[in-house]
Structure 1
Amino acid sequence: MVEELTQAEDAVAACIDAVTWARPEDELIAALDTTHRIEQRLAAVKLAVIRELDGRRTATTRGASSTAVWLRERLRLTVPAARRLVDLATVLENGNPGVRHALAGGCITVDQARVIADSVDSVQTAAGPEVADKALGMLVEWAGQFDPTLLRKLSTRILDHVAPDIADGAARAALDAEARRATRDRHLTLSTLTDGRLRLTGILDTETAGLLRAAIDPLGAPSDPDDQRSPGQRRHDALGDVCRLALRTGELPENGGDPAQIVVTTSFDGLTGQLGGGTLDTGLHLTPEAVRHLACDAAILPAVLGGAGQPLDLGRQRRLITGPLRRALVLRDRGCAFPGCDRPPRWCDAHHIHHWADGGTTSLTNAVLLCGHHHRHLHHSDWTVRLAGDGNPEFVPPAWLDPEQLPRRNHYHRRT
């Protein structure tokens, strides 16, 4: 397979520098159609490979928490994009060979394949395999005329065309299937921009969308006739108000042994002089004005820091790494320290590098922050962790994965 794909790659590479301006229009259109068809066929191969790797649990044996997370590292994808690939590969492999063949034949696109697979699955549940085959043929034919958005709209009434006698009775089943898809596809992604802000993207199911609108619509209304904020800015500010209200209730679950809270680090001189900025435990920076605003209603915890900002000593000797000592650990590791993991501090456990039961101390020099998956993985694999000369954790892979066993670090949480 690799040899054949390499030959295909060479053939494509030979076309990259083709002089397109000298080609007649008909030839360029034919090249476009052929390129698009090859792209879909390659997608079918890619999905088959992903499905096989997922079935073999390749990702977990290499230290990743899931195939989607491993694909993000391997192919430089976002986690939502990688997860969609894994989901579609599973759907096409487990119950929709016709859709897979249509994709492999270059007759439909990946996005159309998602729509058709969902629709055929619903039809098979409602009317059986024979009707599902009819629906598949009709949807593939429609895919030659309609984009994925229109195709999904048409697919909601596919039974009217292939099985009109049960169409009305199956409408409820279609609604239930749509609800299941909404549950499956729900997600919220927080992406850190280069300047420290966050981009929110995601899909909310109907119920959650209703809750969000009910919460932010009253707070997002113009505060007075002179309110100059745009609708988007008002919704942004309303979301912040909702979060503040939730934190003030004191009823949120604990986070790493502490009440739900935001932690801001600033210098004593900067705080008292009202001139210094601050840093959140996520690594984001705050202006002096924002620090002063938060300090009006906050607990102030003194900490001794080294010249390079390294926390030196916090808390008393004990087994559990909580309170001030955990805060110091979060300041240092910023999140799960395992290479390639982007889990934030609130999802992480504090791991004793030299186990407490074996005489290890409960101190910053004997602790590392790990998410639940990598905490378990470290305990049940040949990976080892240690603190490097600069006081930051580094991980040594097993020899079977890297014969040279070169230490690796997490680069997602670096401050610079």
Structure 2
Amino acid sequence: MAACLDAVQAALAEVMDAPCWSLSTRELAELTCQAGHAVTAMAELRLRLIAAADVADVGAANGATSTTGWLAHVDRARRNDAAADVRLAKALDTTCEATRRALLLGRVNPAQALVITTALTDLPGWIGEAKRAEAETWLLDHAAEFGPDELRLLARRIWEVIDPDGADERDGKLL
């Protein structure tokens, strides 16, 4: 894995000073999309490493009180952002394999993945695996068209996927 990351960094160093002004609008559009897919693939790898670091208790091994604390320190990030990364990493590692794979393939971005995993994690424990998988697929399908904000609104309607007959009754109780 280290060799792969070294190769990525070396490849990026090769184009560090490459001018973009000479690219056509078509090239700019294609390369911007391609770079976005590469970023999401790197995000998936990073999240996979964070999940493994959490299991191995890397934070404590490095003098931090938690993986979140350690990650906030090494990334020089806000603690809330580090906590969201750890939550997302754990969910992708344990219960949301389809979302992890979609992130790796560039079908979703990290913000969309966080919305999906949060929606699935917030489901009650009595929801079976088949219904969870159905809900995850439904959200992933909608992620192809909608950004994280719209996807969050759709996630609120997840009961219509899990229990179409009981969704109206559940909504009535919420009112």
Shorter chain as normaliser: what TM range? 0.7 to 0.9
Matching residue of 2:95? 95
Matching residue of 2:27? 27
Residue identity in the other structure for 1:166: G
Shift of 1:129: 2.2
Shift of 1:100: 1.0
Q: Does 1:82 align with 2:82?
A: yes
Matches of 1:161 and 1:78 in 2, distance apart?
35
For residues 222-281 of structure 1, the C-alpha deviation after alignment (integer angstroms, 9 at most, x for no partner) is xxxxxxxxxxxxxxxxxxxxxxxxxxxxxxxxxxxxxxxxxxxxxxxxxxxxxxxxxxxx
Q: Secondary structure at the match of 2:77?
A: coil
Residues 60/161 of structure 1: CA separation in 2 closer, same or farther (3 Å cut): closer
Shift of 1:33: 0.7
How many pairs does the alignment contain?
175
Shift of 1:159: 3.1
Q: Secondary structure at the match of 2:41?
A: helix
Q: Larger C-alpha radius of gyration, 1 or 2?
A: 1
Matches of 2:174 and 2:29 in 1, distance apart?
39
Residues 127/54 of structure 1: CA separation in 2 closer, same or farther (3 Å cut): closer
Q: Tell me the TM-score normalised to structure 2 length.
A: 0.87
Shift of 1:163: 4.0
Describe how 1:122-271 pairs up with structure 2 within 5 A.
122=122, 125=125, 127-161=127-161, 163-169=163-169, 171=171
Matches of 1:85 and 1:101 in 2, distance apart?
17
Describe how 1:317-332 pairs up with structure 2 within 5 A.
none
Residue identity in the other structure for 1:136: E
Matching residue of 1:68? 68
What is the percent sequence identity of the aligned residues? 28
Matches of 2:86 and 2:103 in 1, distance apart?
16
Q: Which has the higher contact order (CA 8 A, sep 6+)?
A: 2
Residues 87/162 of structure 1: CA separation in 2 closer, same or farther (3 Å cut): closer
Matching residue of 1:52? 52
Matches of 2:173 and 2:71 in 1, distance apart?
34
Matches of 2:123 and 2:66 in 1, distance apart?
31
Matches of 1:32 and 1:17 in 2, distance apart?
16
Structure 1 stretch displaced more, 14-23 or 100-109: 14-23
The answer to whether the 8 A contact 1:47-1:85 is kept is yes
Aligned residues: CA RMSD:
2.4
Describe how 1:29-44 pairs up with structure 2 within 5 A.
29-44=29-44
Q: Which runs of 5+ in 2 are unaligned?
A: none
Matching residue of 1:412? none
Matches of 2:37 and 2:70 in 1, distance apart?
28
Q: Tell me the TM-score normalised to structure 1 length.
A: 0.39
Shift of 1:32: 0.8
Higher helix share: 2
The answer to whether the 8 A contact 2:68-2:82 is kept is yes
Residues 172/70 of structure 1: CA separation in 2 closer, same or farther (3 Å cut): farther
Residues 158/90 of structure 1: CA separation in 2 closer, same or farther (3 Å cut): same
Shift of 1:28: 0.8
Shift of 1:162: 5.7
Q: Which runs of 5+ in 1 are unaligned?
A: 176-416
Matches of 2:21 and 2:81 in 1, distance apart?
34
Shift of 1:123: 5.2
Shift of 1:54: 1.3
Q: Secondary structure at the match of 1:54?
A: helix
Matches of 1:27 and 1:101 in 2, distance apart?
27
For residues 368-408 of structure 1, the C-alpha deviation after alignment (integer angstroms, 9 at most, x for no partner) is xxxxxxxxxxxxxxxxxxxxxxxxxxxxxxxxxxxxxxxxx
Q: Secondary structure at the match of 2:21?
A: helix
Shift of 1:167: 2.1
Residues 172/120 of structure 1: CA separation in 2 closer, same or farther (3 Å cut): farther
Structure 1 stretch displaced more, 115-124 or 101-110: 115-124
Residues 86/121 of structure 1: CA separation in 2 closer, same or farther (3 Å cut): closer
Matching residue of 1:239? none
For residues 126-161 of structure 1, the C-alpha deviation after alignment (integer angstroms, 9 at most, x for no partner) is 642223222222211211221211111111113324
